[in-house]
């Protein structure tokens, strides 16, 4: 039984309707071509109701990212597990599983719709979570990073978002579980191992030779 006040439930329903309306319209017409009036009409609410929740359509788009992050956090008990046990791949699997459930929303965000603010917000959220996990694991093991962890987190986030964008936009043939396994192996063993080469065979190896 939902014990939250009826007003809270109405707020959640209204915001969910506005979120769905924005996503549907953006995928159909593009972000710049739609208006607040169209969003409100699609959500079956008045303009005044829209502005009671959001300043403008850009604010709604960023709100979608924040709601998405909060929703995904509830699905991420594996983050703490990863901090304790190392890179299990489970947090990444949750990202891809969540993207599978919310594919339309992820497509809007990852395309950089609007002025790209929503994508930047999404990137910062993922990067912050990644750096937190890397720092916790290094601290737990007493390891000294060979590359600054903010750099590691940025590189890892870019790789994840690039792969995620390709995956949600295309029929890649890879399941969430398969793509997670590939990204896990790439992260753990590196690109040279992933391509089947040895370090001496890797592109640029001769440039690094003494």
Going residue by residue through the chain, which has 210 residues, state the pLDDT in tens, using 9 for 90 and above.
444 465 688 998 999 999 999 999 999 999 999 999 999 999 999 999 999 999 999 999 999 988 887 776 664 554 444 444 445 566 788 889 889 999 999 999 999 998 898 999 999 988 998 898 889 889 999 999 999 999 999 999 999 999 999 999 999 999 999 999 999 898 888 888 898 887 666 655 555 444
Domain identity same for 71 and 47: no
* 121 and 178 share one domain: yes
CATH number at residue 10: 1.10.10.60
Tokens of 90: 């489970």
As for how many domains the chain has, the answer is 2
104, two tokens:
């339309």
Q: Tell me: do 90 and 168 sit in the same domain.
A: yes
Same domain, 21 and 40: yes
- Whether 207 maps to a domain, the answer reads no
Q: Is residue 124 in some structural domain?
A: yes
Q: What is the CATH number of the domain that holds 122?
A: 1.10.357
Range of the domain at 13: 6-54
d(CA 168, CA 117): 19
Q: Is 82 part of any domain?
A: yes
Q: Measure the CA–CA gap between 56 and 36, rounded to whole angstroms.
A: 7
Any domain includes 60: no
């Amino acid at each position: 039984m939902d014990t939250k006040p009826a007003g809270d439930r109405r707020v959640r329903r209204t915001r969910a309707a506005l979120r769905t309306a924005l996503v549907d319209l953006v995928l159909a017409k593009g972000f710049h071509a739609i208006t607040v009036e169209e969003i409100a009409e699609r959500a079956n609410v008045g303009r005044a109701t829209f502005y009671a929740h959001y300043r403008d359509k850009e604010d709604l788009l960023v709100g979608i990212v924040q709601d998405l992050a909060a929703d995904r956090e509830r699905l991420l008990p594996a983050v703490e597990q990863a901090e304790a046990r190392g890179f299990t791949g489970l947090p990444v699997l949750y990202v891809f599983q969540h993207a599978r459930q919310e594919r339309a929303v992820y497509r809007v965000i990852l395309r950089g719709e609007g002025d790209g603010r929503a994508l930047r917000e999404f990137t910062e959220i993922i990067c912050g979570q990644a750096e937190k996990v890397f720092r916790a694991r290094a601290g737990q093991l007493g390891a000294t990073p060979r590359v600054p962890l903010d750099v590691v987190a940025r590189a890892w986030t870019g790789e994840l978002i690039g792969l995620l964008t390709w995956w949600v936009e295309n029929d890649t043939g890879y399941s969430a579980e398969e793509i997670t396994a590939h990204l896990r192996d790439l992260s753990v063993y590196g690109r040279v191992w992933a391509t089947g080469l040895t370090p001496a065979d890797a592109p640029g190896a001769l440039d690094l030779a003494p």
